Structure 1
Amino acid sequence: MTRIKTFLKAICTTDMLLVALVTCAASVVGSLLAGLPAFSLFGALIIALIIGMLLQIPMRAWFAGSGARHAQGIGGAAGLIANKLLRLGIILLGFKLNLDVLFATGVKTIVIAAIIVTLTITVTYVIARKLGVDEHLAILTAGGTGICGAAAVMGLSGSITMPKGEEQRGRDDEVMAVATVAIMGTVFALAQIALRPVLGLTNAQFGTMGGASLHEIAHAVAVGGSAGNTGMNAAIIMKLSRVLMLAPAALIIGAWWARRHAQPGDGPRKVPIPWFMLGFLIASVAGTYLPFVAQFTDVLVKAAYLVLGMAMAALGMNVDFKAIASRGRMAVLASFLASILLTGGAFFAAKLLF
């Protein structure tokens, strides 16, 4: 009850209401722009993040005349929105995952997705660490590269507990990882579309390769769509199979992180359970098998992207640009190298197995 009262008190402040309105507007604008051909490859979440980052300029000018206390209130409000709404958004995103569609394709697609996600996360993490990327940024970049871009970064981040005093570094890592997978996904989506005539794949195989290798759902849809309805359907099925791996990946990585950072004398540590991921799975089941819920899935998925867009915009409002410039370059290189390997593996899997 005390935690609920504290939360309600926090969300009723002027700063919180202001940030909520600004981030909501950024999310709506992001969704509208994502519907335009020129911006469709980026996706609504990435655009909302960029808008939030750009909003730092006028808001910092406002901070200068409003006092440090007000600036701290705005920053705290943005942090709370980013933290709480990302969990709600991930839960609502579960309604997008139609389990019947996945299971109708057989076990093969899901097994391949599990192998791809496991190998990609592992390889990307190892490469990033070899390049000197710190482990928190490395695992978020690996998750975003291996699973489903920005949503995976935010989902995995929610299952990892940062030490006290390092919360800002954690938020900067989230932005860097999201930006990295957005750039890589866009680059490799354009490359795959350009290379399609010389790859020698059927439309279904080409769509499968895109769904197996690209980071954001928007990237997979764009690449699959270039091969017609057959290619798009194959891309969506393969991509959603990878999205299904988000919940177990969050649980496994959260447990791994907790054990890795256990201190001597702590005693037995509880395995952290990302409960919002349980909500994600429940939403998937409800949206697939409950007719009353299924008729509202389109509305619920739109609500998911609105909420996630608000979280991304709030995250962008708090980003430290200096930290990104100094620490993000090697993460980009790691994701680039891993994406080359991922694309090659996806090509051979599509060619030989589909």
Structure 2
Amino acid sequence: MKNIKNLKYIIPGFLICTLLAYIGIFLSKFVPSLGPAPLAIFLGMFAGNTFATSNIFEKGSKFSEGDLLSYSIVLLGGTLSIHTLFTLGFSGIIFIVLQMIFTISITLYIGKKLGFSDHFKLLMASGNAVCGSSAIGATSPIIKAQDRDKGLSITIVNLTGTILMFLLIPVAKCFFNFQTMETSALLGGILQSVGQVIAGGAMINEHVLEMATLFKLVRIIFLVFVVMWMSKYIHNKNLKEEIKDDGSIAIEKEAYGSKSKIAIPWYIIGFFILCFLHSANLIPQNLSSIFKQISGKFEIIALAGIGMRVKFKELISHGPKASIYGLLIGASQIIIALVLIKTLNFIF
């Protein structure tokens, strides 16, 4: 309802994202090996940093990046069978949990060595371990982070994910020769946003796209537990810092996270509902095909929106230190994932 009321503010940015998406689809006919997904992101980044920098495009690009991608994920559920979900297996869940734990740990460690604040480190940890901007948005109010830390972490995480999206393709080819499960685990277990996972999978094949998305969606489900732990972590740290000289502790009346609610994103629930309906043959095949086509178009438009929201000026203004932080995290994620996949390979 809110988006309907703000329709006139959404339209300009949405239209330019749609235009860029269809230009990407057109250009992909000449470079089929690249595909429309990365082209849409590149075009979005070019537009968002050159001729489409006006605030008039802000709400529309945000809608495309967030809401439209959510609708795409829900519709994707109507094209998959529950059998596909089971192929992830227990080993897939173990991989996701371990990858997230190691990512959070290494992010906090590197951030401490580089001298970043606890709030910024936690935002970077949630963004890289779970689901990019969405995780940062969910974590920020819980730990009471400042807007500056939130904005910087979103910028760094999005840029890191965009770089990894292209870098992981040759890595997957080199180590796994694009085998579906291993490649899907690599993309779905590392990439920061759902859009980046979809774009990366689309550059390989349809099977990797679907499985990598499942790995990613399971990561998002664990957002609840990650944010709960971070709330506890920052609260305990603040209590330690408030110990007075006489040994007593000044405890705030409102504890961190006491009034905050963390829920599984609605599109995850929608995805699984449609997935179950499709598995029960309650969604006709022709309707499922329509869902797939619409979902694909929404994905490309959303990726153009993601590209538009990567602002190079903001990145440069924050200095190289934060960028180095993001790149070190990304490199660590790749090493961790490769070791885990190789270790768990016998049960994948």
Q: Is the 8 A contact 2:77 2:275 kept in 1?
A: yes
Give the 3 Å change call, closer, same or farther, for CA 301–266 of structure 1 in structure 2.
farther
- For structure 1, which segment, 333-342 or 172-181, has the greater mean C-alpha deviation from structure 2 after superposition? 172-181
Q: What residue ranges of structure 1 are gaps of 5+ in the alignment?
A: 61-70, 144-151, 198-202, 226-231
Does 2:275 correspond to 1:287?
no
What fraction of aligned residue pairs are identical, expressed as a percent? 17
TM-score by length of 1: 0.70
**CA separation of 1:342/1:196 partners in 2, compared to 1, >3 Å: closer, same or farther?**
closer
Alignment of 1:91-102 (within 5 A): 91-102=74-85
Conserved 8 A contact 1:87-1:155: no
1:214 aligned partner: 187
CA distance in 2 between counterparts of 1:81 and 1:195 reads 34
Which of 304, 321, 336 is matched with 1:313 structurally?
304
Aligned equivalents of 2:313 and 2:306: distance in 1? 15
Q: Aligned-pair distance for 1:85?
A: 2.7
Please point out which of 284, 289, 295 is paired with 1:298.
289
Measure how far apart 1:339 and its partner are: 0.8
Q: Confirm or deny: 8 A CA contact 1:211 1:236 kept in the other structure.
A: yes
Task: Sort the Cα spacing of 1:284 and 1:75 in 2 relative to 1 into closer, same or farther, 3 A.
Answer: same
Deviation at 1:195, TM superposition (A): 4.9
1:130-145 map, 5 Å? 130-132=109-111, 134=120, 135-143=122-130
2:254: which partner in 1?
Answer: 266
| 2:17 aligned residue | 23
Q: What is the root-mean-square deviation in Å for CA atoms of aligned residues? A: 3.6
Q: In 2 relative to 1, CA 189–242 (structure 1 residues): closer, same or farther, beyond 3 Å?
A: same
User: Equivalent of 2:4, from 8, 20, 26?
Assistant: 8
* CA distance in structure 1 between the aligned counterparts of 2:220 and 2:290, rounded to whole angstroms: 22
The answer for the alignment partner of 1:79 in structure 2 is 62
Count of paired positions: 306
1:110 Cα offset (Å): 1.9
The residue aligned with 1:239 is 212
In structure 1, C-alpha distance between the alignment counterparts of 2:63 and 2:180, rounded to whole Å: 38
- Equivalent pair of 1:113/1:238 in contact (CA under 8 Å): no
Moved more, 332-341 or 288-297: 288-297
CA contact (8 A) 2:10 2:60 kept: yes
TM-score of the aligned structures, taking structure 2 as reference length: 0.71
Residue 259 (structure 1) shift? 5.3
Structure 2 unaligned segments of length 5 or more: list them: 189-196, 239-251
Query: In the aligned structure 2, how far is the partner of 1:77 from the partner of 1:236?
Result: 26
Q: Structure 1 pair 89/177, CA: closer, same or farther in 2 (3 Å)?
A: farther
Distance 1:139 1:237, change over 3 A: same
Which of 123, 127, 131 aligns to 2:106? It is 127
